Chain A
Amino acid sequence: MEGKRKNFNIHTHKYLWSDLYIGLELVAGPVLLILIAAWISRQDMPYMVVLVLEGILLLMVDLGLDSLIMGGILDRDQKFGLLQSSFYGKKLFLQGLLLDHVRRFLQYTLVFGATGMMIYPQMMSDFPDRGVGFFVGYMLGGILLLMATAEAMVLLLRRQETLMQIWMLLGFLSPLTSLPIIIHVFTFSFPDTRISPWVICIADAFLLGIILWISQKAHCYQYDWALGLIPRKETPEDRTWNMGVFIAFAFGLNFLMVPLMYLGYREGMDLSVFLVAQMFYPACGVCLAKLFSRSGGDLPRFAYRVVVEATCVLVFCCIYSIPALSLEKVFELEGATTGMLMYTVATAVVLVGSIAFLFSGVIGFTKAGRFRIRQAGLGCSKVWLSLGMIVLFFVLYFGRVAIITGIEAICTKDFTVLTDTFAGMFMGEHSKAIWFGVLLNLPLTFLMFFGEEYGWRYFLQPVLQKRFGMIRGVLLLGVIWGVWHVAADFLYYSDGSSGLAMCLQQLITCVSLGIFFGYAYLKTHNIWVPVMFHYLNNNLIMVIAQDASETVIQGAEVTFGMLPVSFLGAVVFMIFIFAPIYRKKEALESLVADLTPSEEWYEA
């Protein structure tokens, strides 16, 4: 019995629909694919098309598997009395799904192998110095990633109450291309090294392990959900996990990108795309941690997914953007343009992501998702106080500008600087257009700023403040936030010679802004207030400089002599450290309580 139980697939399907499905999966799809591959191999077309088609077929097959064959068992609210009344039910449920994965993996290895044979000559002419091992590794990795993507898509789709969104396709494309990129990274950047096919195969096996692990976890989650084991609220055990994932993404990913940035810097490329991607890492860490934590609670999954998927695409944009690593060969692009091209793509991603995120907010409000939104700290509370805070920020921001230009005026004894700056802001040649731009950009780009603030203010600040005290916590957060920018300080913001000074300047800015942002967040319990601050802080500089291009913040020359001036300017924000709210532990408690609504709140 035990042996039989070990390899039994309870999801095997035998009836009319399954005949149609198996027809699609085993016969029609593969035959079509092989024909297309054969055709493409005779045309002057990139073989990547074949991979994309394979991905689409897989997604269709996975969707069909769940909705036509399994009758929607991947839906999280399903419960199955017979399985759940048995001790071995969960085991069989998971095992069946995983056996199905393995079956499909083998099947697709065959199909992809066949199509691979078709495009093999073309591929080898592109990479003449690669052996068959490279090719095999490439194909196997492709299959794995395609399968994982399709699986993840279906799971997410079934878990989501809304219809299929365009965003999914974007997300689908991102991991789809990731393995080829990883291989490209190695092969193009180090043309002299030959990667052994074994290395690729081991990497693939590792990947398979990860994919099966994630898949198993996702299915477990689903089964436990039906049993009611997934609490609506976060549990204490989740916190360690959340912190680990947050650190891995917010800092790990950030510092992993540094070598790539340096590579790009050396080649003199535009690094803006890295800066855009970087802003997403903190929120991505929080969202991933919560999405995959054991209990997790009831989450605004769509919004979280938007953040995670946007980050994925952006990371790939970064990798692509480095001329030495990029797919110039595939896309036949000029080296110098890839940076800007990828920056354009990244902007589009931010735009689509922001709109998708707003859309998720609408869904949340109409579909009784208020609990979820509030639990995730996305709620818009204390509206009037929040608006007041934003006005206060304007005042302080211009106060800082006034102090800095004022000192400059005193030093140079030329007081026209002061009037010029303020007159220019409101009456300059382009000022109307720039102000309008700042306003218009808000709904289209806010996701970037949310990306940082959700990590720093929503996630990290309460943790640090609880651990190190109200004041020390917020100061530490400022320092962490400043240090987090270090690579950008050296390679992007400064002109190369003044990196260290730029770092110190950044530290001053981050600590002072951190104090004020933290103050406003503690007061309003509304994450959108710091998001708005951050947005304004980064965009008003265009108004001040009367220049709406990205170059306004790039390659600045900073000297140590400017630091005291910056410090004096930053004092307008720093004085908030003496605000009474930083002396009250209860302020933090009430913030945390507000973000974790009780069961009673939910029942009411």
Chain B
Amino acid sequence: MEFNSVIHGENLVKKYKKFELNIPTLDIPEGFATALIGENGAGKSTLMDILAGIRLDFKGHLQFFGEFDEKDREKNPEVKMRIGYEGTGMYYMPTWTMQQGKDVQALLFDTFDGKRYDALCEELAIPVDPKKKINTLSDGNQMKLKLAGVFSRETDFLILDEPASPLDPLMRDKLCDMMRKYLLEKEGKRSILFSTHNIADMEAVTDYAIIVENGKIVEQGFVEELKEKYIVVKGEGEDREKVKEILYTMNENPYGFEGICLAEQLDALAGMKVLTETPSLSQICVAVMKKNSKLFQQKEG
């Protein structure tokens, strides 16, 4: 599928002592919600920090909204104004109270809407106490507060780092609703990039998926396309040795096996008694991650 990219990156390299993020080209589709999926330490947060301008020591080029580069982001207030960022770790200063958090956001972002923020706080059931220190809130409530902050601004692109992790299932559903609504408000103009470990819960809102493994993009595409590209194969015990080679993953049980392979390799299975099914995004991700994970390969080797 053809698309315009809201962020285009080239040769993004960030080296750490034992880890290297290396992405030759990065394209985030405009008008869609993109999920960034990968193991812990795969480089998701680093990539998001680079895009949001939290880390500036990387090599490579970025283009935002088709017109600004990474230098414009630091010079032109408009760019950062149009990007909403929610990150893990120290997001607020450790000293801030809830009231201060709100005041500071109003100062930091011209489009911050205080009334909308209050309404969102209520909607998300955050126990609002202006004098309470943000640090003392529970993880879930802190996340809700951060989300209320980014969603009460007029932005065109959201970067959300693990928004679903600390939330309960009900809130995750609510988050998906909010993201959908956000995208619908300006159809085709707004985009979201979020990282997640809860692929199943967030599948409803995922249009495009980027799977990152060990600092590299190992698979990406629209969810519909990915579902056509991969296929679930179920079969009986006696065929398992023959199919093992083409399957990405294989779960065995006394009655038979179940695994995922590329749809184009299905011909190799001709003549066998197998059932095929459309995989879920979660199944695809696990399969691709397993295939590329360093950890898993070491175990198998």
Collect the chain B residues with CB atoms within 8 Å of residue A92's CB: 104, 107-108
- Mind listing 8 A-B residue pairs with CB under 8 Å? A4-B107, A5-B107, A11-B93, A71-B94, A85-B53, A85-B54, A87-B77, A89-B108
Given A81-B85, A603-B15, A88 and B90 contact (CB-CB distance below 8 Å)? no
B297 to chain A, nearest CB (A): 23
Bound: A572/B52 CA distance, A: 64
In the assembled complex, which residues on chain B have CB atoms less than 8 Å from the CB atom of A14?
97, 100, 131
Give the contact-size bracket for chain A.
Answer: 20 to 34
Q: Hey, what's the 0/1 contact readout for A46-88 against B, CB within 8 Å counting as 1?
A: 0000000000000000000000011111000011111111111
Residues of chain A contacted by B76 (CB below 8 angstroms) = 87
Interface residues of B in 41-71 (CB under 8 A from A): 52-58
Chain A residues closer than 8 Å to B94, beta-carbon distance: 70-73
> How far apart sit A599 and B14, CA to CA, in the bound complex (Å)?
12
Cβ–Cβ contact B92 & A1, under 8 A: no
Check if A203 is an interface residue, CB within 8 A of chain B: no
Question: Given A15-B133, A92-B107, A71–B95 Cβ distance below 8 Å?
Answer: yes
* Chain A residues in 8 Å Cβ range of B53: 84-85, 227
Enumerate chain B residues within 8 angstroms of A13, measured Cβ to Cβ.
95
What total count of A-B pairs have CB within 8 Å?
A: 103
Interface membership of A10, Cβ < 8 A: yes
Residue of B nearest to A73 (CB): B93
Which residues, 276 to 303 on A, are CB-close (under 8 Å) to B?
Answer: none
| Contact A8/B95 with A78-B90, A87-B81 known, Cβ cut-off 8 Å | no
Report if A593 contacts B (CB, 8 A).
no
A228 within 8 A of B: yes
Asked whether B57 lies within 8 Å of A229 as measured between CB atoms, the reply is: yes
| Contact A70 B93, CB 8 Å, known A81-B54, A227-B56, A228-B56 | yes
Instruction: Report chain A residues within 8 Å CB of B92.
Output: 80, 82
Interface contact B95-A80, CB-CB below 8 Å: no
- Would you list the 9 A-B pairs with minimal beta carbon distance, nearest first? A71-B94, A228-B57, A81-B87, A85-B85, A86-B108, A81-B91, A87-B77, A87-B80, A84-B54
Interface residue B83 (Cβ < 8 Å from any Cβ of A): yes
A69, B107: Cβ atoms under 8 Å? no
Q: Flag whether A23 is at the interface (Cβ < 8 A).
A: no
How near does chain B come to A216, taking the closest CB pair, in angstroms?
19
Assign chain B's interface to a size class: 35 or more
A231 is an interface residue with CB less than 8 A from chain B = yes
Contact across chains for B15 and A82 when beta carbons are under 8 A apart: no
Inter-chain CA distance A599–B90, complex, in Å, is: 28
Q: CA–CA, A5 to B105, complex, Å? A: 11
A291 to chain B, nearest CB (A): 20
Asked whether B89 lies within 8 Å of A88 as measured between CB atoms, the reply is no
Which residue of the partner chain, among B77, B85, B100, B131, contacts A12 with CB atoms under 8 Å?
A: B100
Distance to closest chain B CB from A230 (angstroms): 8
Chain A residues with CB under 8 Å of B52's CB are 81, 84-85
Bound-state CA distance A228–B84 (Å) is 21
Chain A proximity mask over B196-219: 1 for CB below 8 Å, otherwise 0: 000000000000000000000000
Given A87-B77, A603-B15, A82 and B108 contact (CB-CB distance below 8 Å): yes
Q: Which residues of A contact B115 (CB under 8 A)?
A: none
Chain B 113-144 interface mask (CB, 8 Å, partner A; 1/0): 00000000000000000010101000000000
- Provide the residues of chain B in CB contact with A227, threshold 8 Å: 53-57
Q: Of A5, A10, A82, A88, which is within 8 A of B91 by CB? A: A82
CB of A179 to closest CB in B, whole Å: 33
* Residues in B neighbouring A70, C-beta threshold 8 A: 93-95
Contact B109 A86 (CB under 8 A): yes
Taking a contact as CB atoms under 8 Å apart, the answer to whether B80 and A86 are in contact is: yes
B90 close to A79 (CB less than 8 A):
yes
Is the Cβ of A229 less than 8 Å from the Cβ of B108? no
Which chain A residue shows the least CB distance to B133?
A: A15
Complex: chain A residue closest to B161, CB-CB: A81
Instruction: State in angstroms the CA–CA spacing of A14 and B56 once bound together.
Output: 32
Taking CB atoms, residues of chain B closer than 8 Å to A69 are: 95
Would you call B273 an interface residue if the criterion is a C-beta within 8 Å of the partner chain's C-beta atoms? no
B15 adjacent to A10 (CB under 8 Å): no
Q: How far is the CA of A11 from the CA of B93 in the complex (A)?
A: 9
CA–CA, A79 to B48, complex, Å? 14
Tell me the smallest distance from the CB of B165 to a CB of chain A, in Å.
Answer: 15
**In the complex, chain A residues whose CB is within 8 Å of the CB of B299:** none
B177 at the interface (CB under 8 A from A): no
B277 CB–A CB distance under 8 Å: no
Residues of A within 8 A of B93 (CB): 10-11, 70-71, 73, 80, 83
Cβ A85 vs Cβ B87 within 8 A: yes
Are A83 and B108 touching (Cβ within 8 A)? yes
Contact B56 A79 (CB under 8 A): no
Shortest CB–CB separation between residue A369 and chain B, in angstroms? 14
Q: Is B252 an interface residue (CB 8 A)?
A: no
Q: Are A80 and B80 in contact (CB-based, < 8 A)?
A: no
Residues facing A in B227-247 (CB within 8 A) are none
Chain B contacts for A89, CB-based, 8 A: 108
Q: Is B110 an interface residue (CB 8 A)?
A: yes
Report Cα–Cα, A36/B80, bound state, in Å.
Answer: 53
- Chain A's closest residue to B91 (CB) is A81
Residues of A within 8 A of B107 (CB): 1, 4-5, 8, 10, 88, 92
Are A1 and B110 closer than 8 Å at their CB atoms? yes
Max chain B Cβ within 10 angstroms of own Cβ: one of A1, A71, A84, A227: A84
The residues of A that contact B17 with a CB separation of less than 8 Å are: 603
Bound CA–CA A209/B50 (angstroms): 36
CB atoms of A81 and B90 under 8 A apart: yes
Q: Tell me the chain A residues, 79-106 only, with Cβ under 8 Å from chain B.
A: 79-89, 92
Q: Are A88 and B95 in contact (CB under 8 A)?
A: no
CB closest residue in chain B, given A8:
B107
Report the bound CA distance from A228 to B14 in whole Å: 11
Please tell me which one of the listed residues A4, A81, A231 contacts residue B89 in the complex, with CB atoms under 8 A apart.
A81
In the complex, A80 Cα to B108 Cα: how many Å? 13
The smallest beta-carbon distance between A26 and chain B, in angstroms, is 18
The complex places the Cα of A69 from the Cα of B97 at a distance, in Å, of 12
**Contact partners of A84 in chain B: CB under 8 A:** 52-54
Contacts of A12 in B (CB 8 A): 100
**Complex Cα spacing A85 to B104, Å:** 13
CB of B131 to closest CB in A, whole Å: 7
Quote the shortest CB–CB distance from A579 to chain B (angstroms): 40
Alpha-carbon distance A27/B86, docked complex (angstroms)? 40
Q: Which of A70, A72, A81 has the most CB of B within 10 A?
A: A81
